[in-house]
Structure 1
Amino acid sequence: MDLSKQALLVVDVQSSFHVPDAIVAGITELTRKVPTIATVERHNEAVTPFLGQLGWTPSANDKCLVPADKVFIKHGYLPPKAAIDYLKDLTVDRVLVCGIQADTCCLAAGFMLFDAGLRPTLLKWLSVGSSLDRSATLGAKLWKHHFGCVLSEPSELQI
């Protein structure tokens, strides 16, 4: 598929989460080729009870570790509606998704993209899973089951 008809959603690639350097570099390279937006998870206990319910919080002031045309701040697992609306306004054929927690935050983004008709596609080699499976294999299996579109290596992008 022509990259000009696609956009990239980078989920929570930020310093609060351990992101391997190779993934940051790979995402950065792709951002030069396709319109890119990113989400950054920030802590606000009044909005999402990370500390009260999970005993952990992301930073209250993290920044995105990769270049993006637009960065959206989120609180919780879902991307903000404004991010989905922004992608819809780009009139792309599909949205490539990568980032942190392929089996939670990326998956949550996938559901919102799917429901918006934006054909989500996970880039497994540029994603990290949660502490249950850092390899992102669980997330890729869930993604394949729910959305059908997972790319496992860069050559599948057909750049």
Structure 2
Amino acid sequence: MRQALLIIDVQPGFAPPEWLVDGIRALIGTLPSVATVERHDESITPFEKQLGWHPAPDDDSLIPADRIFIKHGYAPTPQTIDYLKSLNLERVLVCGLQTETCCLAAGFALFDAGLQPTLITDLTVGSSLDRTGGLGVRLWEHHFKHTVRSSDL
């Protein structure tokens, strides 16, 4: 199956658990990989104004992915989606941080682009609302259907 890994916002400013970083790193080199890094620019996305917090302006990915794309906000950039489409994939495996927000936003962007988003349920962490990621997994299954565990890969 032609597939790639999309790693969402695994960066120092969000303090991902070590098990998540280790689990994702174990997949690097086994398939094409793309990581997003969320950076703050209030003129692009008003996190501070609307939410009273913001990501770091200069974070980098903790995962050595083949390609890294900077984003400002929840969803991956059009350039990220275009790159993934150029790989002629059957599915995009999504993992990383904020299952019910940033990962879900990536799922919608992938779906809208005609790609098959597939969440790796044991390599994702939810927001402070639900650190287990359970809410995000249920939303993912409702909207996109496709999930796997890292042991299935």
Determine if the TM-score, normalized by the shorter chain, exceeds 0.5.
yes
- Which of 51, 74, 77 does residue 48 from structure 2 map onto? 51
- Specify every segment of 5 or more residues in structure 2 that has no aligned partner in the other structure, as ranges: none
Moved over 6 A (4+): none
Deviation track 1:33-69 (CA, whole Å, cap 9, x = no partner) reads 0100010000000000111111101100000000111
Paired with 1:155 and 1:53, the residues of 2 have a C-alpha distance of 39
- Which of 141, 148, 154 does residue 150 from structure 2 map onto? 154
TM-score where L is the length of structure 1:
0.94
The letter for the 1-side match of 2:151 is S
Q: Which residue of 2 aligns with 1:91?
A: 88
Q: Which residue of 2 aligns with 1:26?
A: 23
Deviation track 1:41-99 (CA, whole Å, cap 9, x = no partner) reads 00000000111111101100000000111100000111000000000000010000000
Contact persistence 2:34–2:65 (CA under 8 A): yes
1:110 aligns with 2:110: no
- Specify every segment of 5 or more residues in structure 1 that has no aligned partner in the other structure, as ranges: none
TM-score where L is the length of structure 2:
0.98
SS of 2:14's equivalent? coil
Paired with 2:75 and 2:93, the residues of 1 have a C-alpha distance of 16
CA RMSD of aligned residues (A): 0.7
Paired with 1:146 and 1:107, the residues of 2 have a C-alpha distance of 9
Paired with 1:53 and 1:135, the residues of 2 have a C-alpha distance of 26
Aligned identity (percent) is 58
> How many equivalent residue pairs?
153
Paired with 1:12 and 1:155, the residues of 2 have a C-alpha distance of 22
Tell me by how many angstroms 1:31 deviates.
Answer: 1.4
Q: Which residue of 2 aligns with 1:72?
A: 69
